[in-house]
Amino acid sequence: MDAWPIALAILLPVATALLAYIFRIRAARVLAVVVMAAGLMVSALALAGRGSFTYTPESVLGLPIDTLITILDLALLGYLVWIGLSMRRLSVVLLAGLQLAGLGYLEFWLRGSTPAVLPAEPAMVIDRLAVTMNLIISGVGSLVVLFALPYMDEFERRQKAMKTRQPRFFLFLLLFLGAMNGLVFSNNLLWLYFFWEATTFSSFMLITHTGAREALANGLRALWMNLLGGLAFVLALIFLARNAHIVSLRALAGWPLAGWPGWRGLPPIGSSPDLLLLPMGLLCFAAFTKAAQFPFQTWLTGAMVAPTPVSALLHSSTMVKAAVYLIIRLAPAFRGTTLGILVAVIGGFTFMAASTTAIGQANGKRVLAYSTIANLGLIIAMAGINTPQALSAALLIIIFHAISKALLFICVGTIEHGIRTRDIEEMEGLFYKMPMTTIITVVAMTSMMLPPFGVLIGKWLAIEASVRFPLLLPFVVLGSALTVVFWSKWLGRILTVSYHRKFRLEKLPLLISASMLVLAAAVVVASFGIASVFDFLAAPVVRGQFGIAGVVTPRADLATGMGEFIPWPIFLLIVLVLLAIPISFSRVKPADIRPPYLCGENAGEKPGTSFYSARDEINLTRTGNYYVTGVFGEASINRWAYPIAVGLLLLMIGVIKP
Amino acid sequence: MGFISTARVKSPWIMHFETGSCNGCAIEVFAALTPVYDLERFGILNTGNPKHADIMLVTGCVSFRAGRVLRNLYHQMPGPKAVVAIGVCALTGGIFHDCYNLAPGVDKVIPVDVYVPGCAARPEAIIAGTVMALDRLAGKAGPPNIAPGEPRRGLEEGRVVEIAPGNSDK
Amino acid sequence: MIGRTIATYGISPLWVTLATVVAAPAIGGLLTGIDRKLTARLQNRVGPPIWQPFHDLVKLWSKERITVNQVQLLYVYAHLFLMIASLVGLMLGQDLLMIFFIFAFSSVSLILGGFSVRSPYSRIGSQREIMQLMAYEPVLVLMAIGIYLATGSFFVHEIITSGNPLLYSLPLVFAAYAVILVVKLRKSPFDLSTAVHHVHQEVVKGLLTEYSGPYLGLIELANWYELVFLLALGGLFWATSLWGALLAAAVLFLFQVVVDTVSARVTWAWMLKFVWTVGLGLAAINIVWLYM
């Protein structure tokens, strides 16, 4: 049976989750998770090694899958309603209740009353886009889960937890992985919707993991925002089933709204194309909430109260990517329409606004959160304009952002446990305390903003792609310039170091250092071989839609016809500079060392940082970073960002109304 | 003169440190730096930072506290470096000579190459002294003048160790 | 693409690289000397000889190697190498955007070097340099986009051979570039992060405070490459004729000398507002022309 990798990708995490929950022994959990990680990677590689194919599973353990998913879906929504009731949160009850009603209408009323609701479309389509997402989820996701094992031990030691809650934690973390894999394989929109809601649900359970008041509040905020998106999703489903008889993603995306000649889907029965704009817009709205685009960004920044593996897995590399994945899937349908441009502008605006906000943040995880939001915005913007180059840019950013950001979260989590804070201002001198973590963090941060790394090459493609879209251009230009600002501030802070004769590498648990090193190596190797990565993962997707790849890779570089990016000379220079490290360390003798200039008042045990002030008191120098919260603080940004973002969403109503 | 010596002589960057007293000599140093004398003609730049400086111009009677600073600044200058003491206070302590809180003369704290007398020293004299100090940069000068830090009145409170030369790297 | 470059210039890219690496410091050093001489003459002084920068460089290289920590000099090497790389990229006719990104990497290296020590002066200088980066980076990218819209390519070698001088279609972008040139060269009124040359000082010496001797010399060398790079970029606006390019570069050069002499330093907030309104505004308006 050739479908074993699919079954493995979805069911293995679920089974492991249940095992980890039932058998509450640490050793068993570790073993199960390690085996699962290996299994997921094997399945992902097996899928990547094959061409595109479709697959419709009929039943699992004797149960028809359609029925099973319907039952699970209803149960899930019912449970969410119950959560809303028990937490006394009206918005959650209402939104989940409405979805429940909508889904019931869809499943029982519509399915019974209209014939041929289900055209002969496969339930799952495994094409190169799904394979790419699967590689990210299974590869990066597994590494994050491995990192979570030692991290959670330390986390509970810090929290002084009386009773371990790790089984529950890993239950939802692994369920989430399975749901994500299911999501990217699903072609049936009802299935997709189920997995979509499952990620919302696990995300809520993981954000509220500690049960602290702040965690509950932020979890509920995440829940209602995502449920709002879910409601839009259900409405889109009802609309599609009633008016267009479409329940498959491929058919929906294949329907050209602007009369594009390259269309290859099934024509829906008796529907006019413009009618599809409404569900399309609703689905985009659902994606905006899940991708935390302005004005929904607060759920993602609030979710940073969760343990770091949750942030790494859900809020950087996978869950939020589900949203951009959906938009990329829908993109062929709205290419060239006003809706497409509007989606691009909303994404671009978020890219700029989130990058701006990140400058004013002193909390490391919040900077990461805003940077994630910004990159999602850029991906959505690229999907909105959807030219061959834009799509290439979107795919490259998805791939490289997932690796780099997961690595960054792992680093910040390790740093937080090492120095007991995630405040950037407190990270001074990290280079001496944790040299290895610092170096890897530097690699990760550099890879987010500078050449020759993948994310920057994605941005380069994005700029070249948006040249013909004047509405989007200013956002992309400003956003990419501002990105450099907040990264270099942070980078500078952790790289500050006084002279020490010896630097000793810190001791980290094996799984933490292993996941860090593997991801760091992945960043460097993938960036070096970006041409191959592009050819293998992104080019087939672009070619499938446009017939051409838009970007060619003549000599291990990327060329667009208007420009070209050659990474290897920059790598060469970086290697040259790195070669100077051992020379420098052996050449600099203690006698060559002078303390920094402090007007000659250097004093005390640390002449580099302390000085004689008035009355010969010894004081420490402290130099903070510029945060300029008056301009870049959340409050100041939101004052103009919220009205614009809400205005853009309202504009969308005008565009999509039939 | 060799290639490197020429460059050193043609590009002496200075820093100025005032160690106390009336600031008269300090004002004259600033006067020497104005466009009237245009020291940049000779490649002289005022850096205000010991790490970039080749010549240190010191004015004022050296109070103990300023002596400590002076020693740190000297230590932070990369070699080859030269010191020009300007004004009688910097030379011997001047009218403050026997005060309880002074090291009488810059050379009690750091090695001095050129002494420019005067109260206050004229800008022309300061420039002439700076040019004489170029010999040190060119490697032509003999050993610098260091007066041993002899115990003096008012130094009994453990301050002697702080300003005595030879302990400067402590 | 390298192959096409060879066709454009008729010489091997290796020779172009070598010639750039060797000739640029000579030109850059001499221009710096002329800059100092001109400034002195504008201030009614005699000023140093025009080869003074070379004396300075040799002297700096002959000084004792003192440092604050072991890693400080890495950033200098990174700054210098990447600066050379961006200039070589320009000379080889590569993608303008890629060149700008490498150029930004070079600036970030210098910023990190300033951050790497615990000196308050150096770090305030770095913070301000970040603000300068924030000010000029979008204008540079907009400039590349403007050039693309006018010529249809991001490749410098295609821009050069595209026909009309860019000045016809991008006069406002040229003006915006003149503004950010002053920011990038850290000349008054935007010499916030560190004041280069002359007798200007700012927060001691800003982000260069802790570099001394040979390392400062390397930064000086990088500054010369940078000057040549930025002026060559200015020359791109009239790249159809060699004399035109030289004239455009000369105008920019004289402009920044005069501005440096006649203006006083502003705060970084003022700088940001000015560059983002005037610089970005001019560039954006010019780009809107091109869409119309």
In chain A, whose CA is at the least distance from the CA of C130? A485
Q: What is the DSSP string of A56-122?
A: ---EETTEEHHHHHHHHHHHHHHHHHHHHHHTT-HHHHHHHHHHHHHHHIIIIIIHHHSTT-S-S--
- The shortest CB-CB distance from A597 to any of B17, B50, B65 is to B50
Taking only the tens place, the pLDDT of each residue in A173-219 is 999 999 999 999 998 888 999 999 999 999 999 999 888 899 999 99
The structural domain count of chain C equals: 1
Quick check: C219 and C110 in contact, CB under 8 A? yes
SS3 for A526?
helix
Quick check: A319 and A176 in contact, CB under 8 A? yes
CB < 8 Å to C209, chain B: 49, 51
Does pLDDT of B155 surpass 50?
no
Cα dihedral A579/A581/A583/A587 (nearest 10)? 170
Does pLDDT of A358 surpass 80?
yes
In chain A, whose CA is at the least distance from the CA of B169? A591
Amino acid at A579: L
Q: Quick one: pLDDT band at residue A264, thresholds 50, 70, 90? A: very low
Min distance C250 CA to chain A CA atoms (Å): 28
Q: Which two tokens stand for residue B117?
A: 């007398």
Distances (CA, A) of A96 to A101, A229, A254, A287: 9, 11, 30, 17
Domain range annotation of chain B: 3-163
In chain B, whose CA is at the least distance from the CA of C47? B41
Which pLDDT score is estimated for A82?
A: 93
| Pairing label, strands A53-55, A124-126 | antiparallel
Q: Which helix (H) or strand (E) holds C101?
A: helix C96-115
What is the Cα–Cα distance from C71 to A584, expressed in whole angstroms? 7
DSSP conformational letter for B122: P
Min distance B33 CA to chain A CA atoms (Å): 21
Which pLDDT score is estimated for C89?
A: 92
Taking only the tens place, the pLDDT of each residue in C193-247 is 887 666 677 888 888 999 988 999 999 999 999 999 999 999 999 888 888 899 9
> Which of these CATH numbers, 3.40.640.10, 3.40.50.12280, 3.30.200.20, 3.20.10.10, describes B3-163?
3.40.50.12280
Does pLDDT of A347 surpass 70?
yes
Question: For residue A143, how far is the Cα from the chain centroid?
Answer: 15
Nearest CA among C176, C129, C132, C171 for reference residue C150:
C171
Quick check: A616 and B73 CB within 8 A? no
- The shortest CB-CB distance from C209 to any of B40, B49, B78 is to B49
Q: Which two tokens stand for residue A657?
A: 């109304």
Nearest CA among B114, B113, B92 for reference residue B103:
B92
Quick check: C284 and A474 CB within 8 A? yes
Q: Quick one: pLDDT band at residue A255, thresholds 50, 70, 90? A: low
Taking only the tens place, the pLDDT of each residue in A47-101 is 888 878 888 877 776 778 888 888 899 999 999 999 999 988 899 999 999 999 9
Compute the mean pLDDT over every residue in chain B, rounded to the nearest whole number: 81
Taking only the tens place, the pLDDT of each residue in A364-390 is 999 999 999 999 999 999 999 888 999
CB < 8 Å to C210, chain A: 596-597
Number of C-beta neighbours around residue C264 at 10 A: 6
Does pLDDT of A654 surpass 90?
no
CB < 8 Å to B43, chain C: 48, 52, 55-56
Does pLDDT of C139 surpass 70?
yes
- The shortest CB-CB distance from A488 to any of C111, C123, C154 is to C111
Does pLDDT of A619 surpass 60?
yes
Taking only the tens place, the pLDDT of each residue in A625-644 is 888 888 888 899 999 999 99
Compute the mean pLDDT over every residue in chain A, rounded to the nearest whole number: 87
B-C CB pairs within 8 A amount to 81
Which pLDDT score is estimated for B145?
A: 62
Q: Which two tokens stand for residue B123?
A: 């800008």
Min distance B70 CA to chain C CA atoms (Å): 17
Which domain does C197 fall in, by range? 2-291
